[in-house]
Amino acid sequence: MALNGAEAIAEAMRQINPDVVASYPITPQTIIVERFSEFVADGLVDTEFVAAESEHSALSASIGAAAAGGRSMTATSSQGFALMWEMLYIAAAMRLPIVMAVANRALSGPINIHCDHSDSMGGRDSGWIQLYSENVQEAYDNTVLAVKIAERQNVRLPVMVCMDGFTTSHAVERVDVLDDDVVKKFVGEYHIDHPLLDVNQPVSYGPLALPEYYFELKMQQIDAMTNAKPVIEQVSRAYGSISGRSYGLVEPYNMEKAERAIVILGSTAGTAKSLLDDLNDPRLGLLKIRAFRPFPAAEIAANLRKCKAVAVLDRAASYGSIGGPVFSEVRAALYDESKRPQIVSYIYGLGGRDTTTDMLKTVYDDLDTIAKTGKPDPVQRFLGLRED
């Protein structure tokens, strides 16, 4: 099927047939809710569609629906994501397996509708699992996977499925869509142990917890994230057996003999792959991070420890830090290695700035210099920044 990323996610949502979808339009996410509303209008799903009056309410309604005992989904971007911020933490703390599509878009100001990861990076510590999609196929696959991961008993955490705004949300690609029955069987029925609608066994969701208990409740969320790592892998393997497409927490590309590697999330991984295919140089590799939360530190270290120089490309700035958010964590993941590669941070693509294969080539060239001199100086660099 030829679909763009937003339509592919809507298609997955149709197949999942959630009980409640609550959302609010924002470019470039809007197509998801528009397509989904058509499915509702045509009676192709049994979903209650809540056209909320804001993203804050959309996520609040998703929380109410999931606690009630319904499978619930939503979608957003940028300012909408920022407006949801308060509720992101609450959804995770209530351990509600909500699935949210995020069409990544730069945050204001200045207002900009194009892609970067400053929205979802702002929610990285909110307790949500974060899956990043390289292309339309992954946006579709991740949506189906997300439902299953979120609802696993020892995880029970919300999941966001991120895709790059416009680059993936609006680009039409050929997608392998599974049969409706296959998806239905794979995701199964939604079940939570203590739904609010079980009036015979009343429960209280969202109490006040003072210093005696708050910390332990947070610990349970930390444990759930730890549990999520093997679950993502198991679910991905199961998905591989029905789709032929298997995914890990990270995806190494040409890493077997790589001395220089780029680490990246999202669609620019595709650009890097195409460059590597052209260069056909075993010394150059790519490590794509698919799950940024939980953070696959061990897997990252295992893939990078043999490299001489590594560049981490961040599509979000972390003002006042020594590099982007992904850089800081990748660098931390390597700290325990006895032999560490030199490592640099590149901030790229902010506000939708194009990142070409030529630009990525310059990164590999820089890494060559760094590997030779053994000095990543400066540590923070900017890729594709206009200098005039």
Partner 1 sequence: MKLRDIAGSTEHLTCGHRLCTGCAEPIIVRQVLHAAENPVVVANATGCLEVATTIYPYTAWKVPWIHSAFENTAATISGVESAYRALKRKGKIDKKINFIAFAGDGGTYDIGLQSLSGALERGHAFLYVCLDNEAYMNTGIQRSSSTPRGSWTTTTPVGEKLVGKPEYKKDITEIVAAHGIPYVAQTAPSHWMDLMTKVKKALKVEGPTFINVASPCPRGWRSEPEESMRLSRLAVETCYWPLYEIENGVWKINLKPKKKPIEEYLAPQKRFAHLLKPQNKHIVDDLQRRVDERWEVLQWKAEVSQQRSQQKQPPQTPASQT
Binding residues (CB under 8 A) for partner 1: these are 19-20, 22, 46-48, 50-54, 56-58, 60-70, 72, 86-87, 90, 94, 196-199, 202-210, 213, 217
CB of 45 to partner 1, least distance (A): 10
CB of 221 to partner 1, least distance (A): 14
CB of 50 to partner 1, least distance (A): 5
CB of 59 to partner 1, least distance (A): 8
H or E element at residue 328:
helix 325-333
Rg (CA), the chain: 21
Backbone CA torsion sign across 12, 234, 124, 170: negative
CB of 13 to partner 1, least distance (A): 14
CB of 206 to partner 1, least distance (A): 4
d(C-alpha 299, C-alpha 216), whole Å: 28
CB of 22 to partner 1, least distance (A): 6
CB neighbours (10 Å) of residue 380?
17
Return the amino acid letter for 33. V
Judged by beta carbon, residue 56 or residue 340, the one nearer partner 1 is 56
Judged by beta carbon, residue 60 or residue 303, the one nearer partner 1 is 60
- Provide DSSP, 4-65: EHHHHHHHHHHHH--SEEEE---TTTHHHHHHHHHHHHTTS--PEEEE-SSHHHHHHHHHHH
d(C-alpha 137, C-alpha 142), whole Å: 8
Q: CA distances (Å), 188 to each of 65, 182, 376, in order? A: 18, 10, 49
CB of 144 to partner 1, least distance (A): 20
Judged by beta carbon, residue 96 or residue 304, the one nearer partner 1 is 96
Judged by beta carbon, residue 69 or residue 384, the one nearer partner 1 is 69
Return the amino acid letter for 324. G
What does the CA dihedral 56, 48, 183, 238 come to, rounded to 10 degrees? 40
Judged by beta carbon, residue 214 or residue 374, the one nearer partner 1 is 214
Judged by beta carbon, residue 8 or residue 61, the one nearer partner 1 is 61
Judged by beta carbon, residue 215 or residue 319, the one nearer partner 1 is 215
H or E element at residue 383:
strand 380-383
Judged by beta carbon, residue 62 or residue 303, the one nearer partner 1 is 62
Q: ω before 109 within 30° of 0 (cis)? A: yes
- Provide DSSP, 228-257: HHHHHHHHHHHHHHHHS----SEEEES-TT
